[in-house]
Amino acid sequence: MTEMTEQAPVTQATATKVAALPDAQTVTSVQHYTDRLFAFRVTRPQSLRFRSGEFVMIGLMGDNGKPLLRAYSIASPSWDEELEFYSIKVPDGPLTSKLQHIQPGDEIILRPKPVGTLVHDALLPGKRIYFFSTGTGFAPFASLLRDPQTYEDYDEVIITHTCREVAELTYGRDLIESIRNDELLQELIGEENLAKLRYYPTTTREESPKMGRITTLIENGELFADLGVPPLNPEHDRAMICGSLAFNIDVKALLEQAGLREGANSEPKEFVVEKAFVGDGI
Ligand code: FAD
Ligand code: A2P
């Protein structure tokens, strides 16, 4: 009895608080991949327009009653009626220690102001596009890989994803499989266009069919030999990079060595870079 009277006001207070969330969106599904990775989908604000590859600020209400927001790449394509996110779980992370527990029906905060450099507009026309990613850096490419424009703009679309362990590749692997097998995606992108897609997953700390850092595989030429493509060339090749700061710096150096230049929304060139997260001490 005591329990019931104590519980009633709490439920009411929680409901009021949730309804009062600014920019609230409802979680529609959640999928956990490992103890460090999960993905979820939320409703999309009707007014939200974004370019595939951009990021927004999302979060939850903090214990202090203020929104606790972090940058997140939108992993779904711009035509999708929902929004998808692919997330790390940082055990003591202010946001993700809580966000990892969301369930369908819960609400998150989503500020509808998309920005970012990993967009087609920031690149000059080319023949082949490389998406280089590690960890959750795959997220913006999950969006771009489902965008028909990616295949209309290029003859070849190469996505590399490097993780420490095999299980960390699952979200990306499943996504590539769904792009190749999902009827809706096949219809949207076109079977001929889908033939342009090349997926190159590698691991560095657990045995898998292809092992090694992508930087090593670029330097020793294995990436190009495996794919049967010529070495990097500024005339035809374009690239987008998304991983840790150290990864971005090292890949960028290799691209620049090959003669590619970094572009931006305002000045399109041959490659663009975005951090997958901040704070690896560099
Ligand atoms: P924080 O205090 O933000 O981070 C604590 C520490 O955890 C960091 O110092 C870092 O060492 C580590 N860390 C944080 N994020 C990651 C990560 N993604 N992978 C590996 N280590 C990490 N995160 C995503 O999970 N998915 C995304 O799509 C995504 N997109 C981003 C886009 C941009 C432009 C930026 C700048 C960041 C992005 N992040 C993304 C990182 C995200 O903003 C948060 O850092 C992350 O959600 C953790 O939040 P937190 O409050 O729990 O911990
Ligand atoms: P490695 O296992 O050799 O460090 P992290 O979890 O540290 O962000 O790393 C994710 C993946 O990116 C790992 O496979 C890691 O390889 C790789 N990686 C980390 N830093 C670099 C870098 N500077 N250049 C290339 N690959 C990197």
- Alpha-carbon distance of 90 to 269, in angstroms, equals 35
Mean per-residue pLDDT for 91-96? 96
Segment among 119-133, 140-154, 181-195 with least mean pLDDT = 181-195
Is 68 a pocket residue for ligand 1 (Cβ < 6 Å)? no
- Alpha-carbon distance of 182 to 96, in angstroms, equals 30
Quote the ligand 1 centre to 224 CA distance (angstroms): 31
Positive or negative torsion for Cα 86, 92, 97, 100: positive
C-alpha atoms less than 13 angstroms from C-alpha of 100 in its C-beta half-sphere: 17
Q: Residue 280: its pLDDT value, please?
A: 52
Enumerate domains of the chain plus CATH numbers.
Answer: 16-115 (2.40.30.10), 120-275 (3.40.50.80)
How many residues does the structure list for the chain? 282
Mean per-residue pLDDT for 131-151? 98
Prediction pTM value = 0.93
Tens-digit pLDDT profile for residues 39-79: 999 999 989 999 999 999 999 999 999 999 999 999 999 99
Taking the CA of residue 202 as reference, the ligand 2 atom at the shortest distance is 14
- Alpha-carbon distance of 113 to 94, in angstroms, equals 22
Contact 245, 277 (CB under 8 A): no
Quote the ligand 2 centre to 219 CA distance (angstroms): 15
Q: Whose CA is nearest to atom 44 of ligand 1?
A: 70
Mean per-residue pLDDT for 278-282? 62
Segment among 19-23, 156-160, 195-199, 208-212 with least mean pLDDT = 19-23
Tokens, residue 275: 């951090």
Mean per-residue pLDDT for 78-85? 96
Return all residues near 178 (Cβ < 8 A) that are at least 6 apart: 185
- Alpha-carbon distance of 279 to 88, in angstroms, equals 14
Is 138 a pocket residue for ligand 2 (Cβ < 6 Å)? no
Q: Whose CA is nearest to atom 23 of ligand 2?
A: 247
Quote the ligand 1 centre to 278 CA distance (angstroms): 6
Mean per-residue pLDDT for 221-232? 98
For residue 12, name the pLDDT band (cuts at 50, 70, 90): very low
For residue 22, name the pLDDT band (cuts at 50, 70, 90): confident
Q: Whose CA is nearest to atom 7 of ligand 1?
A: 90
Is 89 a pocket residue for ligand 1 (Cβ < 6 Å)? no
Tokens, residue 158: 């190469």
User: With the CA atoms of 214, 215, 220 and 224 taken in that order, what torsion angle do they form, in degrees rounded to the nearest 10?
Assistant: 50
For the chain, what percent of residues have pLDDT higher than 90? 89
Tokens, residue 247: 């990864």
Mean per-residue pLDDT for 114-139? 98
- The DSSP secondary-structure symbol of 232 reads P
SS percent in the chain: helix, strand, coil, step 5 = 35, 30, 35
Residue 211 pairs in a beta bridge with: 203
Mean per-residue pLDDT for 174-203? 94
Return all residues near 91 (Cβ < 8 A) that are at least 6 apart: 97
Tokens, residue 114: 């998309």
Q: Residue 279: its pLDDT value, please?
A: 75
Is 94 a pocket residue for ligand 1 (Cβ < 6 Å)? yes
Return all residues near 73 (Cβ < 8 A) that are at least 6 apart: 53, 54, 55, 85, 86, 116, 118, 136, 139, 140, 143, 242, 274, 276
Q: Residue 107: its pLDDT value, please?
A: 97
| Closest-approaching ligand to the CA atom of 205 | 2
| pLDDT > 60? residue 274 | yes
Return all residues near 191 (Cβ < 8 A) that are at least 6 apart: none
Contact 66, 76 (CB under 8 A): no
| Angle (CA) 192 195 196, round 5° | 105
- The DSSP secondary-structure symbol of 231 reads P
For residue 122, name the pLDDT band (cuts at 50, 70, 90): very high
Phi, psi dihedral angles at 17 (to 5 degrees): -65, -45
Mean per-residue pLDDT for 187-210? 96
